[in-house]
Structure formats: structure tokens, C-alpha cells
A and B are shown apart, each in its own frame.
Chain A
Amino acid sequence: MNTMLEARDLTKRFVKTLDLAGKIAQKLGAGVREEVVHAVNHVDFSIDPGEVVGLVGESGCGKSTVGRMVAGILPPTEGKILFKGTDVAGMDDADSKTAALQIQMIFQDPFASLNPRMRVQDIIGEAPTIHGIIKRAETAAYVEDIMLRVGLDPDYRRRYPHQFSGGQRQRIGIARALAVKPEFLVCDEAIAALDVSIQAQVLNLFIGLREDLNLTYLFISHDLGVVEHISDRVIIMYLGRIIEIAPTEELFKSPNHPYTKALLNEVPRLDARRRDFAPVAGEIPSPIDPPSGCHFHPRCPHATERCRNEVPVLKAVAPGRVSACHLNDTH
């Protein structure tokens, strides 16, 4: 079976170039250097058609950057993205346009991601009309159909985004993405900004749409509870690297990487009452100056000399499971 999407050796570096004063200082030997942020560091993964893959990590781990590269918003510095087996960068114009339409993104902030001066019918209807998916005369009926599908009242089609609540705006964002008939959705913290009861409504919408339209998701979130609920497989990132990939149930039952274990341990749960918190020590290091070897070693209770010097690679620990930890070699 062909994969829906594959990332090979995907890397993104953000470079803060020196200004004139900095360049002069550098010439004079002041030791000023360009700052390089290794946001995403040689990442490989694949997503099958119809699969929901959760991408989890804390702030600054590069999960949003991966999402943006997959959605075609950011060009990768190195590596490539294959959509249905073809390199996105090497496609001709027509193919790359099709691929761009078939991969759509849903953003975190429902207030910033909608044009405040456009009516809902234009926000949803503009792209499919321009791309020739529907005829201009059909727009009204088409918009109505999509609004119903995401649970919005079509009577509101002439309203502006500020007239909607956060949950409804997120539905408008989803409707806009669905309007161009995508096969693959990248959801970047799509429900993080919503209230608990509204989160459940939007999460249910995602689950329903997946079944109805046979969609594939890359579901980016910091919320493990949400990811556990919706995903088939989970990717864990830490400081620009993937450290573990596993099917959801196995990951939550028996996490392999020490960071995954710490993360699962920290998730507040309804059934854990007045428990003793035993937090993982230390802070997330800066991606400008990451630690040597395994990025997690300064916070890891099991770190050895080898972890400080050698970068662990992702190795199979069970069928369908990979983890990047030196401890797996010792037993």
C-alpha cells in the first residue's frame, strides 16, 4: 500500500543573520556568530491513508514547524516530503497545485486565522471557486452544504468572523479547509484555545469527518489526553528530534523512551486524586544551544556517559515501534 505522506530526513534551520554592526564586530574578532536554531533535525516518518497520527511535544520541540513544512507553508532546509510517493519539491506546477489543495491546515488561533473583513460565505467559498472545484453559480449551495457538515447554521453565512464564538470560528476554519476537498489535514493545536465542553464538540467533529470523508490527519498537540483519544499512532518529539513512534495503545501502556515516560507521568488525570507529584527535573533546553548527545540527557534519570557523547538513533524496539534511546541496547 502506498503511503499518504512521507517525510525523509526533514530538517529546518532558522538562521538569524548578522546586521552590519554584527558583521563589523565579527571582522574585528569579537566572536559574534550567526544564531542558528535547529528547529527540526533530520526527521523521518510516514503516514498511511486514512490514518490519524498524533504529533506530541512541548513548546519549542519543532512540532509546529514539522506541520508547516508538511502543509507546504515553510520550505524545508534539507530533506524531502513525499505526497503519495512523489517528492513535493520536484512536482510540475499542476501537480504541486493539486498536492497543495489536498493538504490543508487548521490553525490554533481561531481569532488570528480568519480574515476579519471577509464574510463567512467568502472565507469558505473563495478557494473552491478560484481553483475551479465548483462553478461560481454553485457557490451559495456549496457553502451551505459545507457549513451544515461542520455544524454551522447556514443562515449565518453573511456574518463576519467577529460575530462568532471561539468554537464556531474554529468550525469556520475547518469548513474553509474542507471546501477544497482535501485528503489530508494538518491540525496544529486545533482545539487548544477552546473551552473544555467546546473542545469535545470540535473533537467529535474531527472524528465524524474522518469517517464521512475518509480523511487522514496529522494531529499536532501538546495535550496527551486529546492525542490518545483521536490518534492511531503517536510521534513524540523533543527539541527538534523524533524520540519515539508507537501505536497509541502500546505507547500509553508501555512507553519506551524516558522522556515519554516522564511526559505520561505528568499528564493530570481525573482518576489520579491528591497524588504526589514527582516531576521530571530541569527545563527544556534552548534549541539555539542544545545539549550534546541525547538532547534529553541533562533531565534523564538514567543518563550515562554514552548519552552525553553519542546521539541515539531511532531503532525498532517492537514491531511498528521505534525509539531513540541508548538504554535499549543494554538489555
Chain B
Amino acid sequence: MTSARSTLQVEGLETYFFTKAGVVKAVDGVSFAVGRGEVMGLVGESGCGKSVTGFSIMGLVDPPGRIVGGQVLFNGENLLTASEEHMRALRGSRIAMIFQDPMMTLNPVLRIDTQMIETIRAHERIDHASARQRARDALGQVGIPSPDERLRAYPHQFSGGMRQRVAIAIALLNKPDLIIADEPTTALDVTIQGQILYEAQKLCRELGMALIWITHDLAVVAGLADKICVMYAGKIVEQGLVDDVLDHPVHPYTVGLIGSVPSHNPRGQPLAQIPGMTPSLLNLPPGCAFRTRCSRASGICEQEPRLSEPRSGHKVRCFHPCLEGHA
């Protein structure tokens, strides 16, 4: 998982928010790697730090937030020590981000072609006509019909699903090595979500990009990702290949999450729910953050669990992993 060929390698990333009420450890020692053409699903519930992880990689953490530790190696280069100027050159060109709400990417008062051509020419010396041609091709690539006409449209003239495609097309313009997608299909309908997942999968396979897909929906990453990281309260509690994590989950939180998925349960029967709710990250007590909701917790869980590797390539942060029932 930590080969030298990884496009992105995150080591012990720590992003804290220093608020008046106290320190919020939104990302607390997160490590993972994504290689060329690989899709990693970053899964967790609201407030677990999955979006802040994405923003930290992009260098988009605003005060009172600050990256206080760790390394973000992008093609071997540590982004956390890079100059703001260099980061600006990388963002939108080598690394791109897609947001849940495409209107975060799009300017409502500019035509699509203006925005797309600007994105290309900000990073490359290229004449207007070829930039326009490339913008047109990118729109076609994400499945927008009649791209020549649609280039002249404003964002409000697109539907929600089409807007998200435009946002993806903009992310693709400069053929980035890494795309971070933060819940890009959460606001979309099922059939439109299917279309976007199809495009994302196709692009990853064809262009060999690395993709981080941030979501709360395990079922979405099951169909898309090669590997999964499950986050809880700022830490990765379990990571591994998609089949290992979903078929043989070892962390009690992952087991609970999978048990909470309705279609995984017999019809009409109560779901195997996780009691309680996600803790506030403000002044979180030391030890395993899940212990108050965990049926396997014991006294030792008040200490910090370390990352162990019960099976090759499958890591878990738990004192009492659910290892029964498999070799």
C-alpha cells in the first residue's frame, strides 16, 4: 500500500481547529496511499473529518484550522512545505477537487466556456481556440450532449446532474494526476448518480488518474472503489481492500455501519443499529473514540489503540477487533 509509485501518500496528517471553545482534532493522524488508476473510498459519517482530510491535501484549510503535523507526498513531493505559489500551480492542474454542490465550483454569472477556458489558460500557454476545443472535448467526455452549444450556456441553465458533470469536466481539463471528490453524488437522484459513477469509473480506467471518493454511503464505494478507509472521529479506524473491509470487517464501527444498511438485512426485521451518536470532536477524551458506543469495549479502550494489521494489507485501530469466523 505504500509503494514508491503512489500518486499520493498521506502520512500521519493532523489538522486541528483552534476554536474559542477548545481544540477540535478534525483529522488526527491519518495515513493512506493512492496509486495511479486507483479509486479509494473515504467513508464516514458527518463530522468524522473526511472532508477536512480532502481540504488538507488541497491546502485549503482556513483559520482557525491549521495543519499541525504529518506529510502529504504528492508524486514524492511534500505539499505541506510547498509555497503558496507552487500550490496554486498544482491546484486545478495536477490535483483537482469536485464538491457536493457544483455551484461551489461554478461562477453563476459567467458562461461555461469562459470558466473552462480560464481554467486551462491559467495553467498553460495555449491559444484561445485550442483551449476552447479542449473544453469542448472535456464536456463530451463526461457525457454532456451537444457540447458546442452547451459551452455558451450559464450554470443556471443546467440541471443538477448536468452541473455536476460540468464541475467534473472542469476538474478534468488539465488531466490531473489526482482527483478528490467530496460527496459528489449525494444531492443527485439514483439514475443520475449511476451516470456520474459510470463516468468517474470510465475516466479513472482510461486516464489512469488516482481518485479519492469521499462519501457517507458504503454502498456507493462498494461499486466503485478498489480500497476503503473508514474514518471515525478524525481517525482512520479501518482500511484495506474493498472486499476485505466489506466482507470481513474487523472494527466494531465498520461492522455496525454495514449492519445498518437496510438492504443487507432481512426485510421488516429491526436493523443491527449502533447505539448513541457520533461524539463531538471538541475536547475529545483520550482513548478509542468509539468505546462509548461499542459492545466490545473494556477498560483498556481508555488507552489509545494502535493501528494493527491482522491480515496482510488490512489494518484496524482497535483493541478488540472482530476476528472470529475467519482465518
Which A positions have Cβ atoms within 8 angstroms of B?
58-59, 165, 167-168, 195-201, 203-204, 207-208, 222-226, 228-230, 248-249, 262-263, 265-281, 283-284
| In the complex, the 7 A-B pairs of residues with the closest C-beta atoms, listed nearest first | A200-B260, A229-B262, A277-B198, A266-B194, A268-B219, A279-B194, A58-B189
Contacts of A226 in B (CB 8 A): 262
Q: Of A207, A273, A283, which contacts B242 at CB under 8 A?
A: A273
Contacts of B216 in A (CB 8 A): 195-196
For the complex formed, measure the closest distance between the CB of A121 and the CB atoms of chain B, giving whole angstroms.
Answer: 22
Contact with A along B153-165 (1 / 0, CB 8 A): 0000001011000
Please tell me if the beta carbons of A268 and B161 are within 8 angstroms of each other in the complex.
no
For the complex formed, measure the closest distance between the CB of A290 and the CB atoms of chain B, giving whole angstroms.
Answer: 15
Contacts of A280 in B (CB 8 A): 191, 194-195
User: Chain B's interface: helix, strand, loop or mixed, by majority?
Assistant: helix
For the complex formed, measure the closest distance between the CB of A133 and the CB atoms of chain B, giving whole angstroms.
Answer: 29
For the complex formed, measure the closest distance between the CB of A159 and the CB atoms of chain B, giving whole angstroms.
Answer: 16
Cα A284 to Cα B161 with chains together (Å):
10
Chain B stretch 169-219: residues in CB contact (< 8 A) with chain A? 189-195, 197-198, 201, 216-219
Cα A111 to Cα B11 with chains together (Å):
38
Please tell me if the beta carbons of A274 and B277 are within 8 angstroms of each other in the complex.
no
Cα A302 to Cα B208 with chains together (Å):
35
For the complex formed, measure the closest distance between the CB of A59 and the CB atoms of chain B, giving whole angstroms.
Answer: 6
Asked if A279 meets B195 with Cβ closer than 8 Å, knowing A196-B217, A270-B263, A272-B223, the reply is yes
Asked if A195 meets B190 with Cβ closer than 8 Å, knowing A207-B268, A229-B271, A269-B219, the reply is no
Cα A14 to Cα B82 with chains together (Å):
56
B130 at interface, CB cutoff 8 A: no
Please tell me if the beta carbons of A229 and B267 are within 8 angstroms of each other in the complex.
yes
For the complex formed, measure the closest distance between the CB of A282 and the CB atoms of chain B, giving whole angstroms.
Answer: 9
Contacts of A200 in B (CB 8 A): 259-260, 262, 271-274
Please tell me if the beta carbons of A197 and B260 are within 8 angstroms of each other in the complex.
yes
Cα A248 to Cα B223 with chains together (Å):
24
Cα A281 to Cα B263 with chains together (Å):
25
For the complex formed, measure the closest distance between the CB of B231 and the CB atoms of chain A, giving whole angstroms.
Answer: 13
For the complex formed, measure the closest distance between the CB of B235 and the CB atoms of chain A, giving whole angstroms.
Answer: 17
Question: Could you pull out 15 A-B pairs where Cβ atoms are within 8 angstroms?
Answer: A165-B277, A195-B278, A197-B260, A197-B277, A200-B262, A207-B270, A229-B262, A267-B219, A268-B222, A270-B222, A270-B258, A273-B243, A274-B224, A274-B225, A283-B192
B90 at interface, CB cutoff 8 A: no
Chain B stretch 259-285: residues in CB contact (< 8 A) with chain A? 259-265, 267-275, 277-278
Q: Of B193, B256, B258, B277, which contacts A167 at CB under 8 A?
A: B277
B19 at interface, CB cutoff 8 A: no
Please tell me if the beta carbons of A204 and B246 are within 8 angstroms of each other in the complex.
no
Contacts of B198 in A (CB 8 A): 277-279
Please tell me if the beta carbons of A277 and B264 are within 8 angstroms of each other in the complex.
no
Please tell me if the beta carbons of A225 and B219 are within 8 angstroms of each other in the complex.
yes
Asked if A270 meets B46 with Cβ closer than 8 Å, knowing A280-B191, A284-B189, the reply is no
Residue in A224, A226, A267 with the greatest tally of chain B CB atoms within 10 Å: A267
Contact with A along B3-44 (1 / 0, CB 8 A): 000000000000000000000000000000000000000000
B294 at interface, CB cutoff 8 A: no
For the complex formed, measure the closest distance between the CB of B194 and the CB atoms of chain A, giving whole angstroms.
Answer: 4
Cα A59 to Cα B160 with chains together (Å):
11
Contacts of A249 in B (CB 8 A): 267
Please tell me if the beta carbons of A203 and B271 are within 8 angstroms of each other in the complex.
yes
Cα A280 to Cα B270 with chains together (Å):
33
Q: Which residue of A lies closest to B201 (CB)?
A: A277
For the complex formed, measure the closest distance between the CB of B294 and the CB atoms of chain A, giving whole angstroms.
Answer: 12
For the complex formed, measure the closest distance between the CB of B81 and the CB atoms of chain A, giving whole angstroms.
Answer: 36
Cα A262 to Cα B258 with chains together (Å):
25
For the complex formed, measure the closest distance between the CB of A295 and the CB atoms of chain B, giving whole angstroms.
Answer: 14
Asked if A230 meets B191 with Cβ closer than 8 Å, knowing A200-B260, A268-B217, A273-B223, the reply is no
Contacts of B218 in A (CB 8 A): 196, 270
B220 at interface, CB cutoff 8 A: yes
Q: Which residue of B lies closest to A283 (CB)?
A: B159
Q: Which residue of A lies closest to B48 (CB)?
A: A195
Cα A224 to Cα B261 with chains together (Å):
11
For the complex formed, measure the closest distance between the CB of B64 and the CB atoms of chain A, giving whole angstroms.
Answer: 22
B137 at interface, CB cutoff 8 A: no
Please tell me if the beta carbons of B190 and A201 are within 8 angstroms of each other in the complex.
no
Cα A224 to Cα B218 with chains together (Å):
15
Residue in A197, A201, A225, A274 with the greatest tally of chain B CB atoms within 10 Å: A197
Cα A316 to Cα B39 with chains together (Å):
45
Cα A266 to Cα B193 with chains together (Å):
8
For the complex formed, measure the closest distance between the CB of B163 and the CB atoms of chain A, giving whole angstroms.
Answer: 12
Please tell me if the beta carbons of A267 and B190 are within 8 angstroms of each other in the complex.
yes
Cα A271 to Cα B243 with chains together (Å):
9
Please tell me if the beta carbons of A270 and B261 are within 8 angstroms of each other in the complex.
yes
